[in-house]
Structures are given as C-alpha cells and as structure tokens.
A and B are shown apart, each in its own frame.
Chain A
Amino acid sequence: MEIPTIPVTMPDWYIYQNNSQHTAKVTLALIDLGVITEEDAALPTVQQSIESGMARWFERVSSGIQYMKPSLTMADSHEQLSLKDYYHEDDNLNRLLTELKLASDSVFTFAMGAEKYVEFCVNGKMAEFDKLAPGLYSTALSRLYGAADSCTFMAHPREVKGLCGAVYWMGEDDEKGYLEECYGEDEEDQCPEDIYTKAELEASLPPELLAPQDVLSDEDLASLAEVDGQVGDLARAVLALNGKGWHKKPTFPYALNKHSGCAVATLRNNLEDDTQRILDDFDQYLGESEEATEYTALFFANPTLESVKSALEGIESNCEMLRRMETALLVMAEKTWPE
C-alpha cells in the first residue's frame, strides 16, 4: 500500500500515517504538551489536527531565522522516512537504532532538513578581519563548525572535505590510499586520471578554512565584544554560539540520512571554488551508494509524553542553534544565494 504524503505550505513538512496506534499516542502527547489546541482538535481529521498544531508550533520555534530555514518531517516509524529501496540492515540508521535498542517500528521520528538553499561566501572577509582582530575569524570558523556538528547538516569547508573523503578517497583524508589501491592492481589503467586531489581541494578551500584554529579564549572574545563595528558584532555572535545554559543537547542522538536533499546552508570560499562540484559529486555518489550518510538530523521518540517532549525540546534547541549560526554567518560572509 502506498503511504500517503500530505504537504502543508508552511512549514514544509509531511506526515505519513501508517501506524495509527503510534500516531494516537503521539497525538495524546501533543495534546498534553499544548501543541494541539482546541482549535486544532475541531478539524475534521486527526491528521489535520496534528498538522495544524505542529505547523503552528514549528513556525513559532523557527521564527526569526531569515535564511537557514529548517523543515520538519514526521513519520510514525523510520522506514516511512527513508526511500523504500534504500532501507538496508547495515546502514547507519539501523546501526543507530540498534545502539539505542529501539525497534524500527517502535519509534516516532522527527527529521529536520532544509526548507530551501542558502549560500554564503567568505570572499576575503577572513583577511579583512585578520587585519582588525587577529585570530577572531579563525576562532569564529572553528566554533561555527563545532556548532554545526550538533545541528542540521551545513556544508561548510571542513564538512566538504569530509565529503571528498567519502566520494573520492575511500574514506581517507587524501587521495594517497586510493591511488595506492589502484596502482596495487596489475592493470594500472584502472586508476582514473581525473581523480580529485587534496592539493586541488586546498587550492580551492585554503587550509585556514578547512581546519581553523580556536585561538581566542572566551575572555579575549568578551573584550572584543566591547568594540564597536563588525569586530564587536562577530565577537558577540561567536560567544553566543557556545553560550552556556541555553543549548540543551538533544536527548535523541542525530542520525543523518540522505533523504533531505540539501544542506541548511553552504559556506564557500568564493563562487569560483570547487564546493558546488564536490556537492554535486556527493549527490551522485549517494544516488549510487547503499550507505546512509550525513544529511538530516533525526530525533527518535518512543510514543510517550516524556519522549515526545524531549524530541520537541531537541528540535527547538536545533532551531536556536541555527538562528545563532545565521547571525554569525551574516557578519562573517556575504550571502550569495538567494541574491
């Protein structure tokens, strides 16, 4: 039986109702959490009630994000979220579920992806900041990457380098292992001549973008935060990225899945760099690969009040992180798409 998908205009999310018992339990949790209100409950179907309540809740928790707008997908088990021919017992998603001791049909899944594509370019901003406040930009990049690691997938240079490993280098940091593997064979002509090399990557995305150093302390940043202008703006944005007390780590660990399609943001060196080529090659690689990989943040919830509550808190926290990352990026880089 085909599983129905019902899109709503804003935000962009879908619900698949295949396991009514789970959905009923989650509905009860959403009523208790105040997500579904009397107004939602008056709608003709349960599905419409959930859609209406969740759409309003998600709009609220993702408000204020101008460009890195996330999307939310709900599914009553994780198989419904994945492509049918993609499900594989050895994939990352199933490994994660096994680690969590969760049966795939016993969880309700909330998946966060990107609603639309947004692109930023450094375009010489690093050199500009280095003249004004040495070390600030590198620290900002380092902390931005760290923030992105616990958030919905963002294609920043370090992440793009990781994609190169997956696509071109057999999971290694550079092409050497791949070349050795090729030349170890009798027929040397099996090795493609056009292999993308680490040198090419570094020519396109300089090492200071690929592996930035966290050189300034919080005290240094606090001093710079007092400065007027873009130095102060960036220092404050960086401090906010690792602000204590607000960022509750999601209770449910992330698994990343190839389904969502695009990153919530891309940070490039400039429009001439190789980022787009690498992302395109990665998409093609995913299409040919059986392995799950890193795209969408998933929150698994048992259909209980506490579990659903934790998942919603994780989603809210993820949105707050996106909001703060966007604030930093708007100071650190030029938005090149949408124009």
Chain B
Amino acid sequence: MTHLEQLRAKMTIVANGGKLPGDGVKLCQLDKKTIQAAKYGAELAKAIEGAVGVQPVCATPPWQSLPPLP
C-alpha cells in the first residue's frame, strides 16, 4: 500500500465525520482493546477497504490517535 493510498484512506474516514464508512461507528468511540481485537480489526479493515478500495492502515481521526490495526 502506498503512502498516497494510506492518506486517502485516512482522509476518507475523517471526511466521513470520523465514522467508519458503511456502519456509522465513530472510531473515537472504540476503545483500544476493541480496535486491537482481530475480529473487529478484520471488520474494520473490510469496511475501509470497501469504501476506498485499498487496504487500510491506521485510520486516525484528528482528535484521537489510535494504534495500528492488528
């Protein structure tokens, strides 16, 4: 995944009000443990991938830094 694709993925999340495309859940509402869970990580990855057509990396809303997806 290129840096440009990563930036596009992040900006798509932020432009969407910090919500995951498709399910309306705000990233900032998810705790670290949940984010790091493989199950939710896979869903999150799928949601972002579906929205932006690229493999996601850390989707970082501006108000809160989150750890990289597992």
Q: Residues 25-66 of chain A: 1 if any B CB is under 8 Å from the residue's CB, otherwise 0?
A: 101100100001110011000100100000000000000000
- Decide if A21 touches B4 in the complex (CB within 8 Å): no
Q: Is the interface of B mostly helix, strand, loop or mixed?
A: helix
Size of the B side of the interface (Cβ < 8 Å), in residues, is 16
- Decide if A24 touches B11 in the complex (CB within 8 Å): yes
- Decide if B15 touches A21 in the complex (CB within 8 Å): yes
Q: Is the interface of A mostly helix, strand, loop or mixed?
A: helix
- Decide if B15 touches A24 in the complex (CB within 8 Å): yes
- Decide if A46 touches B7 in the complex (CB within 8 Å): yes
- Is B33 an interface residue, CB under 8 A from the partner? no
Distance (whole angstroms) from the CB of B3 to the closest CB of chain A: 4
Distance (whole angstroms) from the CB of A38 to the closest CB of chain B: 5
Indicate whether A21 sits within 8 Å of B7 (C-beta atoms), given known contacts A38-B2, A41-B2: no
- Decide if A31 touches B15 in the complex (CB within 8 Å): no
Query: In the complex, what residues of B have CB within 8 A of residue A36's CB?
Result: 4, 7
Contact of A20 among B3, B12, B62 (CB under 8 A): B62
CA distance A27 to B4 in the complex (A): 11
CA distance A20 to B61 in the complex (A): 9
- Is B8 an interface residue, CB under 8 A from the partner? yes
Residues of B within 8 A of A (CB): 2-4, 6-8, 10-15, 17, 61-63
- Other than the given A21-B17, A49-B7, 5 more pairs (CB < 8 A) read A20-B14, A23-B14, A41-B2, A46-B11, A303-B15
Residues of A within 8 A of B (CB): 20-21, 23-25, 27-28, 31, 36-38, 41-42, 46, 49, 303
